[in-house]
Amino acid sequence: MSIYQLTVNKKKHRVDVDSDTPLLWVIRDVIGYTGTKFGCGMGLCGACTVLLNGSPVRSCSTPVSTLKATDKITTIEGLSEKATHPVQEAWVEAQVPQCGYCQSGQILAASALLASNPNPSDEDIDNAMAGNICRCGTYPRMRQAIHSAAK
């Protein structure tokens, strides 16, 4: 076990874990933000997506030892300073979720897309969201919500 300093949702955390512990389990089991979900555990589905310095990463495949204390990690709980982020509002308006399991990862990926590309095309959206799988097939509603949030 080793001590790591992490900044998650603008709060500093000191955690004592094995160096190869995936960020996902540190976030969920040590720090307690359970909005980040475990899906495949192999970097393939995107359910565990968090933002690392504003970019989406697979927290299941990010060992805690690769992170610096100055890195800014954002989970769904810290996406907005207000109660909801515009992407979350668009998600509600478009009634995107079905089972909902993948949606925190989807919303974080969508928010990162809009931060770098405020007016994405359908192709931009499909490319940016391609790594986030939804077994319920909510892709058309997610695309609609992203366009709506872009307005």
Minimum distance between the CB of residue 53 and ligand FES, rounded to whole angstroms?
Answer: 18
Across 17-34, b (16+ Cβ under 10 Å) vs e yields beeebbbbbbbbebbebe
Return the sign of the alpha-carbon dihedral for residues 8, 67, 47, 143: positive
43 binds ligand FES (CB under 6 A): yes
Q: Which residue is nearest to ligand FES (CB)?
A: 60
Give yes or no for residue 58 binding ligand FES (CB under 6 A). Answer: yes
If binding is defined by CB under 6 A, does position 48 make contact with ligand FES?
yes
**Residue 72, class by beta-carbon neighbours within 10 Å (0-12 exposed, 13-18 middle, 19+ buried)?**
middle
What does the per-residue mask of binding to ligand FES show for 90-129, with x meaning CB under 6 A?
A: ----------------------------------------
Q: Do residues 51 and 112 make contact, with C-beta atoms less than 8 angstroms apart?
A: yes
Confirm or reject binding of residue 41 to ligand FES (CB under 6 A): yes
Tell me how long the chain is. 151
Stretch that binds ligand FES, among 8-16, 33-41, 70-78, 84-92 (CB under 6 A): 33-41
Interface with ligand FES (CB under 6 A): 38-41, 43-48, 58, 60
